[in-house]
Structures are given as structure tokens and as C-alpha cells.
A and B are shown apart, each in its own frame.
Chain A
């Protein structure tokens, strides 16, 4: 075990912080609570995030993005393994005396997309993977992953070629097609039923440190978890941490369920995107973009963990809002909570606009906030924390 020196920095307000890079780090009981100062990490995480949202990784077919995540996490953790259905598990061991409790942080790496159902006359018919509002599809650039990767576009066919009853209103998925520009005989050789079709919209930066692209749901959270792992390089923690990039969230929540079963963590935190306020999205279920993260509240999540995260966010001056789900949180937390004999579970949300379109929008600052909050939470976990989790004080304050 290498000895590391932790250099205590000045705490500055969380919007104007400065980090001095530490090359040698020292682990000493005196430095229990280390206050940490960071540079604006946008330039650090953004290149990684951009590669993540330029790679395909549809539910059950996460391999391409799993590879990128593994490369990034390998130097940050002690072991990397894969679950039987393709989730990625990165273990960063804690310093507590064994047997050490463990916390699982789950961020799903799969993304929505399309699948080939039929090839006829040089055109491709489609099924969806995950939930897509078909109204956003016409004109979307895609890649058809056949024997080769073929660029193409989703097209709305001429209305007169559709049955009469299908011509009005939104054109349903069964009538949309992908045109790759290939001639029919060549296409039939290159593409088969079951081949994947992923979005090909490139990432772009908008004003205000905001990034747009496809699959920010949920690669933004992967980026946040990566920031957490980076911070934990210089922060001691007693608990073991399982950084888990789950598979198949968009279809079955299956990666989270099976990884939770396998890893048997003592507690779990899911990180997923939540709804940011925007055009057509203004209800109590939406949160301002770039103004903070959300903390999940509701039957799916443990109220004691909510309170712990709330206290910590207030301490760190990380702005947050309560994100209420009456029953199902719509995230990996749902299947994790009921794994084995039940796992106390929490949810952190990163507000995102235009969810499940190829032009999702998220503020980098919120990603950083989530990553930092996770690292601080992990760093502060005492060995006996689980025994303190109680049910008797359930007020929402």
C-alpha cells in the first residue's frame, strides 16, 4: 500500500475554486476530513464525456462504450470486472479494517436507439430500443451497424406511399425508414434483421458551459462518477466503493438488479439524469438547468440517506432540489432497492433537457457538482454508518 500525502488547501466558495495538483499524497489519521479545492474541471471531464457520447452502446449492446469507460477507470480503481450480462464493475478499495462495508454507485451506460426489423427495397424498417418519441426521428442522422458501419438518416416516406389511415398526425415508427444511400443488393448483404441503429448526432457545446448530444442520458452520470473516482484518488475513504456502469437500464433495469445481487453492497446510490426546465417542461417535476443537482425522495429511496445527502450538500454549498417520485423513481434505484434482502438506496439527479432525443442538453457544472457530492459522501462514510440508518424519523425537512 503506497503512502500518500494529502495537502490541505484553502476552502473557497464552490464557484471560484483553485486546485494545486498533488503529486505525492499521504494518508494519515489526522487528515480525516480533508477540505478540497478544485480547479474548474470542465476541461478535464469534457473530452472524456464527448468520446462517451460519440460511441454507440445500446441496451444489451454496451460493449463499445463499456470499453471506453473501462480504459478511463482502470487507473482509478483497484479491479475492473464485468457482470454476466455486461455491466462494468470498478472496485476501489477503502482503508477500513476488513470486513469493510461497501457502497455501490450505479450509473447506466446503455443508451436508447433503434434496431433493424426488416430490409426491403434498399430501405430499413425499425423497432426502438428504450423509449423514443417518434416525432423527433425524421431527419435524424444515424449509423447502421451491419457488417460495416453505414451512415444513414431516418426518413419520413412520401405520404402517398403510406396507407391512408397512417398519413395524418405523427408518423408511427412502423412507417419510418432508414435510407443509407446503398443500393438494395448491397444493402441486403451488409445489413441483417437485428442489426443496431444508433444516433449519429455529434456533440456540440452551447453557450454557458452547456453540452448537447445524444446519450447524455446517462453518460453525463458516468462522467460524474468518473469525477468522483478522480477525487477519491486523493481522498481517504474507509468503505469499499463499487463504481458500476450498468447495462440495460433503458429496457429492463436488469444490469442494476443483477449487479446489486452479485455485489451485495450495504448501500447504493444511483445517479441518473432528471428533467430540466425547458420548452414544454415546466411542472413540479422539472428543475432549472445548471443551477444544481437533485436529491431523490419517495418510496423508492431511503429517507435517512436523503437527509445525509442534504446535510452534506448544504455543508458543501452545492445547490440542490428535492426530486419527488411517489412510487417508481424511473431509474436503476428501483431494482437495486429490492435486491437480496433490501438495500438502502439513494438517487442523485442531473437536470437534462430534451431527454431521449439526439440533442439532449446538460450543464457541465451540474455534472461536476454530482461528482463532488459523491466523493465527499464516500469520503465521509464511517464504518458503523449502516447501523445508524433508521426509519423512525421520516419528515421531509
Chain B
């Protein structure tokens, strides 16, 4: 799965501008699904199986990024964040625009102060000497640029959130081979700006139940106190996050399946942050939902780290959930 993770995280597709990643994923899943289509907001929907219990599995393909707000007279590019972009992750960072141009993030007044300025007091330097023939205009879109790093048990890249979820979904689809359920793997758009693609794709699919696969935070580095989830202890079964309470019946189903198949797992209550499952839950007449999380350090920085075994176990768990005919009592 590592080459796949690398390929996915090397692609530049911030929220609303997912064409590139959609093409990459579509090429990966060709031949694996029974039907593939793209909906009105650009969600990539792959169906496997027909006629059984209808399920939706969501992994978002967009990443956080930056959008140019103004190019000043000297050629410096001002920007706004797309999704959760935090000042502390930016100074000295490199970005790549969707049109190919690259640049460095600088701070007003240089980098010798200890204060962290807000985004409005930062700029992207693309190496232009002025505004004439400038490669960037207002509205152009960029994402972090950082090389993929394989540390053996752990893997680091930008946009692990949520390309790791996409990788898990792709590998689950690949391993599934057959299912008596009707499963919709949805590679969603615009999660980072408000779980928007998940909402509309869930409406269109109208599943009986569903879950998202996303990264979650971490609790196992110095100073982390409140969050009792660690890398390497297995995928986390999310009970609650800042935007959603998982359906307890889905949580029980996931825990039961993990235990039955001896897949390591953790229970998760995340304070703050949310995933596509939140949007899916309240669509139409309601959908029982949950979420399988990949614990991830340094989330929303350009160097997000996950445990490779956690991702592999997540695939095992997803396949174990999806393969047998789902006959949960409430659906």
C-alpha cells in the first residue's frame, strides 16, 4: 500500500479543486468496481455489489490548501486558507499551485520575531520580481509541498488527511472481491471546508447506513494529555467527535467485528474536529453512521505521520465489516 499512499499524497487537490486526485483515484479503482460515476459536486462514487444492504463508505479526497487573494505590486502573493490552515504550520513552508508554480511562505517583517502573525500578515514568494507577467492571479489555488517519507513502521506526508483514508478505501475495495451488500465507496470533495461533498453524495445514494474513514488526532507525544489514542494501537473506532455522535449500534457492530476478527482497535472520543460522517448522519430521514479513524500525528501540518500497521488493520476491519451480508437489526 505504500506506493499507493505516496501517489495519492503527492497529488495537489485542495477543496473545490479535486480534478487531479479524482483522476488518480479513478485510474486506481478501474476494474475494481461494478460502476463508477461522478456527481454534481465532483464526488467520485464507486459501487461494488448490487441488491443487498446499501452502505456508503466515505473517504475525502480533498486536502487543505491556500488560495491567492491578491498579488501586490512587488509580486508577493497574499492568501487565505482553504480549510483548517493554522499559522503555526506555515512559516518557511513550500507550496505548489495547481497550475504548477511553486513558492515559499514568508512573514511580514521577516522571521526574526517570536510572534506568530495571522495569515493576513504572511505571503507566498514565487520568486517573481514584480507584478508583470506574474504566474499567479487572485483565486489561484495551492497546497503544501513536502516529500513523502517512509520511516518503516511509520509513514509521513502532507495530506495524509485524508489520502490515507482514500488508500484504505481503495485497498478495501480491492480486497473485497465480492460482497452480498451494495457498497458505495465515495471519494468525497470539500470535506475540509465543511463536509459538503459527503452531504450531497449521501443524499444521492440514500444508504441504509454508512461510515467515514478519516484521520483523527493523536495523544502519544510529549505534552498531549486529553486524547487517549496512540499510533500503533490499531485503527480507532470513533464514538464521538466535535461534530457528531456515532450511532451506538454502528459502534457496537464495529467493535464486535474487530474483536471477532482479532483486529486491534481503540475507542475514540475526540474533542473538536469532525468527519464526513457528521454530514451523512443528518441527510434525508437520517442515516446511522460511524467512523473508522487512522490515528495521525501533526494533523494539518505538512508532515502528517501515521502508523503503517494501523492503516493495514483498518483495511482488514473495513473488509471484515463489508464482506458478510449485513443484517443489523435496525435497518
Contact = CB atoms under 8 A, between A and B. Distances in A.
Nearest to B267: A193
A193 B269 contact: yes
B245 A129 contact: yes
A174 B226 CA distance: 7
Contact of A61 (B225, B248, B284): B248
Nearest to B287: A84
A261 B285 contact: yes
Nearest to A84: B286
A85 B247 contact: yes
Interface stretch (A17-25, A251-259, A302-310): A251-259
A361 interface: no
A193 B285 contact: no
The winner among A84, A192, A255 for most chain B CB atoms within 10 A is A84
A85 B239 contact: no
Interface string B221-233: 0000111100000
Contacts of B244: 252
A194 B267 contact: yes
Given A61-B248, A118-B228, A127-B240, A85 B286 contact: yes
A117 interface: yes
A248 B330 CA distance: 18
Contacts, number: 82
Nearest to B238: A194
Contacts of A248: 245
The winner among B227, B243, B267 for most chain A CB atoms within 10 A is B267
A59 interface: yes
A254 B282 CA distance: 6
A77 interface: no
The B contact surface, by secondary structure, is loop
A192 B265 CA distance: 13
A258 B271 CA distance: 25
Contacts of A258: 282-286
A115 interface: yes
Interface residues of A, number: 30
A85 B240 contact: no
Contact of A192 (B267, B271, B281, B285): B267
B281 A254 contact: yes
Nearest to B245: A60
Contacts of A125: 226
Given A84-B288, A257-B282, A251 B245 contact: yes
A115 B269 contact: yes
B252 to A, nearest CB: 11
Interface in A232-266: 248, 251-252, 254-255, 257-259, 261-262
Nearest to A116: B269
A194 B228 contact: no
Nearest to A254: B282
B268 interface: yes
A193 B228 contact: yes
Contacts of B228: 117-118, 193
B269 A254 contact: no
Interface string B211-227: 00000000000000111
The winner among A63, A85, A86 for most chain B CB atoms within 10 A is A85
Interface of B: 208, 225-228, 239-240, 243-248, 251, 266-269, 271, 278, 281-288, 330-331
Interface of A: 59-61, 63, 83-87, 115-118, 125, 127, 129, 174, 192-194, 248, 251-252, 254-255, 257-259, 261-262
Closest 4 CB pairs of A and B: A194-B239, A258-B286, A60-B245, A262-B285
